[in-house]
Amino acid sequence: MGTDKKELVFKVLLESEQPMRPGDIAEKSGLSKEEVDKAIKQLKEEGKIESPKRCYYQAKK
């Protein structure tokens, strides 16, 4: 997975006031849901994002 896709997902989450679902992130970023899921997994492993409730994600502030 390209870093650019991961950064794009992170940027979408940073700009959002509310936690987002992967489907919403995919829509906003123009990526496929599979690409978003992979990016979310990597961002979570890196500790850049968190999941405040099931299936919702947000950038750590």
pTM of the model: 0.92
Taking the C-alpha atoms of residue 2 and residue 57, their distance in angstroms, rounded to an integer, is: 20
Instruction: Yes or no: say if 49 and 10 are a contact pair by the CB < 8 Å rule.
Output: yes
Give CA separation, 20 vs 1, 4, 14, 24, in Å: 21, 19, 10, 6
Tell me if residue 43 falls in helix, strand or coil. Answer: helix
State pLDDT tens for residues 16-53.
999 999 999 999 999 999 999 999 999 999 999 999 99
pLDDT score at 1: 59
User: 49-53 and 56-59: which strand pairing?
Assistant: antiparallel
Q: Which residue segments constitute the domains of the chain, with CATH numbers given?
A: 3-59 (1.10.10.10)
